[in-house]
Chains A and B, each alone.
Chain A
Amino acid sequence: DAKTTQPPSMDCAEGRAANLPCNHSTISGNEYVYWYRQIHSQGPQYIIHGLKNNETNEMASLIITEDRKSSTLILPHATLRDTAVYYCIVPGEAGTALIFGKGTTLSVSS
């Protein structure tokens, strides 16, 4: 699996955009970048994934740099309920298990 590096924590004001960075400089050409989050002690929740193009869904946007060595998860209008640990993961081969690192603890405050 490609190693990922994330800041341990970030703060964001409610209603503002939260931009969570991730470095994955050893990513190979056919490896996807996945983002998950864990709210409190719930099961991890899938957010979004991408290969090389920017992606957007109802939860977030994913911006991947042209060299694919880093990406940014964007929560456009963060709410208090977005307070969670966010994980950037590059799983490797199809079907292989997700390996969770320490992630980024995002704290959204009013």
Chain B
Amino acid sequence: EAGVTQFPSHSVIEKGQTVTLRCDPISGHDNLYWYRRVMGKEIKFLLHFVKESKQDESGMPNNRFLAERTGGTYSTLKVQPAELEDSGVYFCASSKLTGVTNTEAFFGQGTRLTVV
């Protein structure tokens, strides 16, 4: 079974440009999460999808970030326009939807974004 896959693995863009990160969750996982780790800081939660709906987007830093999950399968996270402080590693995770207890979340290997 394929794990959580993220594209690209690395991206270097100039300030002001647009970048789109993609996450393919494990098949059948309705929960999808985005996280970010800025160098030297803790892993920070960004948002949570349940199928195609945004369940919790309290961690999104500002309106330059737009996440979508059309059809409830893969998700994209667009940063437009990118700023220097957006640099970091963006992780995606997925888990099964049980409604009763939490199940383990599986993480992708991340996209390292560098804004210059």
A residues touching B (Cβ–Cβ < 8 Å)? 32, 34, 38, 41-46, 49, 91, 94-102
Contact = CB atoms under 8 A, between A and B. Distances in A.
B110 A34 contact: no
Interface of B: 4, 31, 33, 35, 42-45, 48, 50, 55-56, 59, 89, 91, 93, 95, 97-102, 104-110, 112
B104 A46 contact: yes
Contact of A94 (B33, B48, B99): B99
B102 A32 contact: yes
B91 A43 contact: yes
A83 B55 CA distance: 34
Given A94-B98, A97-B45, A34 B104 contact: yes
A97 B42 contact: no
Most buried by A among B101, B110, B112: B101
4 A-B pairs with the lowest CB-CB distances in the bound complex, closest first? A43-B107, A100-B43, A46-B104, A97-B45
Most buried by B among A43, A49, A91, A102: A43
Contacts of A44: 43, 91, 93, 107
A94 B100 contact: yes
25 contacts: A34-B102, A41-B89, A41-B112, A42-B110, A43-B108, A43-B110, A44-B93, A45-B107, A46-B104, A49-B102, A49-B104, A94-B100, A94-B102, A95-B31, A95-B50, A95-B55, A95-B95, A95-B97, A95-B102, A97-B33, A97-B45, A97-B48, A97-B59, A100-B42, A100-B43
Contact of B42 (A49, A95, A101): A101
B105 A98 contact: yes
Contacts of B35: 100
B63 to A, nearest CB: 20
Given A46-B105, A94-B101, A95-B99, 18 more contacts: A32-B101, A34-B102, A34-B104, A41-B89, A41-B110, A43-B91, A44-B43, A46-B104, A46-B106, A49-B102, A49-B104, A94-B102, A95-B50, A95-B95, A95-B98, A95-B102, A98-B93, A98-B105
